[in-house]
Structures are given as C-alpha cells and as structure tokens.
Amino acid sequence: MKKQSNRSLLKSIAVCAIAFFTITLSFAQDKAKQIDQLMSLYNTYGQLNGSVLVSEHGKVIFKKGYGLANMEWNIPNQPNTKFRLGSISKQFTALLIVKLAEEGKLKLDVPITTYLSDYPKATGDKITIHHLLTHTSGIPNYTSFPNFFKDQSRNPFTPADFVKTFQNLPLEFTPGEKFNYSNSGYFLLGYIVEKITGKSYEQYLQETILTPLKMTNTGYDHSDIILKNRAAGYEKRGKTITNASYIDMSIPYAAGSLYSTVEDLYLWDQALYKNKLLSPASMDLLYKPYIRTGDEAYGYGWFIGEFANGGKDKLKVIEHGGGINGFNTIISRLPADKNMVVILNNTGGTVLGEMNEAIRAILYNQPYQQPKKSTAFELLDVFATKGLTAGIDTYQKVKNDPTYGIKEGDMNNVGYQLLQTGKTKEAIEIFKINVATFPKSGNVYDSLGEAYLKDGNTKLAIENYKKSIELDPTNESGKKALEEISKK
C-alpha cells in the first residue's frame, strides 16, 4: 500500500474538520430554529414578552427579543434591552460575601453581630452569615409582611433604617433548622458588605464584579436615572396589561435591585467557569447543596438541582429565578456541558420555568411540551366581567380544548386577583378547579381554604387548610390560619 503524503494527510484532516464544524453548526442552527418557534408561540399566547439567550458548550446559539420593551412607543425588546433582575441579584451578593471571606475580611460561621454591632443580640448572636446566604436564618421575609407593597415599598430607605423595620421581630424558627426564603437575609448581607468595606453595596459590586467582567450593561437600578435601553415594567391581569406599580429600589437592595441584559448575563456565566473572581475552592462554596428545598437544594445565591439528559448520570443544574414589580427572570446553567438559558420578561410573572425546561430539552434532543393558551387568563376576564355562571360555562367549553392548558401558578394568581376585588364566589370556583387539577399540591388547598374563610365558611376553610398542611408540612401560614380560626 502506498504511504499517504503529509500534504494529503493534512488535507484529509482539514476536510474532516470542516465537515465536523458544518455538522455542528447545522445542529446548532436546527436547535436555534426550534427555540425560536417555541418562544414565538409563547409570545403569541401572551406568555412571553422579553429577551432570550441560549448558549451551548459555551457558545451562544440563540439570542432574540420578543414583544415590546416599551408598549407606549412600540419599542421592541432586543438582546441588549435592560431588565430588572429581581432575585437573580442574590447570586452577585453571595459572590461578594464569599470574596470578602476569601480575603479574610469576614467569616461565614460567626454571628452577624460580629459585623453588625447595632443588631439585636438576642437573635443576631444565633444567626451566622451562612444562615443568611442559605435562607436558614429564621428572619421573617419583609416582602411577605401584611400591606408591605402598599405601605412601605414606595418609600426610600437607607440600609440602616430599613434593617430596623424587621430586626426586632421574633425568628420564625431556630437558625439552621430549615429553609424559608427570605429577602431580609440578603438585605442584611448587603448591609454587612457596606459595614466591612466602607463602600456602598453598589460601589463595591461595580468595582469587584461588573468592571472586571466588562459588564457595562449591568448595574444597580435607580428610577430617577436615565438609562438607555431600559425596558418598562408591566403587569398582566388576564389579558389586560397595565404599567407596573412603583417600587423604590432602595427596598430590594442587595436582594433584588440589579438590572442587566441577556448578553451581559452570558458574560457573567462564562466568567464563573474561569475563576476570574474567586479561587476554585471559593467558587465551590457557591454551588454546594447546603439544604433541601423540595426537589432542589440551595447553595449560596443559587438553587441546585439535577437533570436527566438521557445518559446514566444526572447533570447538575445551577439556577435562580427572579421577580420584581413588572419583571420575571430566570438564569439556568448546566456546568458539565457549559449550557445556559437566560430569559428576561417585562410583563410580570409568567411560566419561565416551563420555557426553560423546554429549551433544555431541545438542547439535549429530548421531547418537550408545546405551549398552550392559559385557561386562567381566559377565565379571569369572564369571571370578572360576566360573573360566576358565565365563568363556569366558559370553563366547560375550554377544558377539553387541546390548545388550552391549566397552569397552577396562573390559576392561583387569577384566584387571588378575584379575591382582592371582592369576587369571592368566583375566586372559590377558580381555586376549586386548581384543586381538581393539582390534587397533590398543598398550595392549592391553602388558597381554597383562604377563600372559604373570607366567604365565612369556616368548616370548609378548616378542611382545606388541614389538607394543605397534610400535603405540605412546611406550610407555616396554613398552620397560623388554623390557629387563628381555633381562637375565634
């Protein structure tokens, strides 16, 4: 056999490389097309109004905006549109804290009173930085306070003054005992950053993360500053869209005050692989599953889960969502394959988790559910304007229509919207449909119990609260409701 020349061998290698690249590019283009078709349908059904970016093996394969950044001026969303992030901000705060620990400026396992001398010692001596990072401090969540959005959220506060609004409240449980999501804990982490560094949270964030990573389209949001390409925030009530209610950005602070773009969050994702900001050992601290939260665990500023990609092993998923007046967001990362999904939406709460799972399925060539029209949105308009009988009739018509789907969260939100506008009987009907559709969810029984209680039906309220606690023993609000009923 004649020996192949070096030149012909190199030519063969080059041809193979080109062929491999072409096939890889073709697969990426096909996935991008599927993602676009999927997200376009969500947009058509009124469930997506925002920007999306997907990367595979560290490379961006898809980015696009859907709907409008400003509905009054018909300005479209783009990949460089700036959205408020809500709780995605927590992963930045967590990294700042771990950075200070790496530098020896704080310890994660000491009481917070070590750094906050004016915090009440009765509770502060029991709470560590670790507890704040993992939502295990027991400090009540300030965004869950009665009338919080009505009475406090519009007013400016200094960090020191706002801490005083919750620092004297009794703990909900012994620190470290269990997980209970608390914005109060991450607010305190921002305040600790300021105490230790002598700089504002915003300044230290800019110097430590945003400037080094060249994240020029990310920052601490301020309503009074003119910000180019900022998306306006909107809220949906069924099919009706309104401007989002105002919130002073001193309130979400280190728990949720950042804005960014899908493109900048890609830079953030890539930087986390390269240990640009922390040592590998410190980076690992962020992603440890410290405490279970149902199907997932919580690290430092990240939820930690698993994904079955069709192989023998499950892949680690690191992700977090966010919600703030007018905005709903998610970033989901699979480090083993350097795959990432970012979706930023500016019409309030929507089914970003469902969208994320479908995109992930596309990346791994797995089947996924097509979007469906929201039964909840269809029912809200009818129940709100035409009453109980018309609403029930509409439900009977759409429940067997395959283009419609019932989403637990949507139904729950619609039920509460009806409840808040005095349409108690209509709300009960919505919650009953939710219970029938999701009989293993503790939350749907809790909502139905609350509606019955407001309607004066104590017997059915107790029955549903008890069922809720049976399905979800961590339902503290349900337990409190039952206690209040028994007192009366």
The CATH code for residues 373-487 is: 1.25.40.10
Domain ranges of the chain: 86-363, 373-487
Task: Give me the pLDDT at residue 311, please.
Answer: 67
pLDDT under 70 in the chain at which residues? Answer: 1-27, 311-312
pLDDT digits (tens, 9 = 90+) for 416-455: 999 999 999 999 999 999 999 999 999 999 999 999 999 9
- 37 burial level (CB within 10 Å; 0-12, 13-18, 19+): exposed
How does pLDDT run across 349-363, given as a tens digit for each residue?
Answer: 899 999 999 999 999
Q: Which of 446, 472, 444, 438 is nearest to 178 (CA)?
A: 472
* 176: its two tokens: 């470290």
What pLDDT score does 1 carry?
A: 47
Residue type, 123: T
Please state, in angstroms and rounded to a whole number, the distance separating the CA atoms of residues 256 and 363: 29
Decide yes or no: CATH 3.40.50.970 for domain 86-363.
no
Show the tokens assigned to 289: 């599953």
Exposed / middle / buried, residue 280 (Cβ in 10 Å: 0-12, 13-18, 19+): exposed
Cβ(292)–Cβ(306) below 8 Å: no
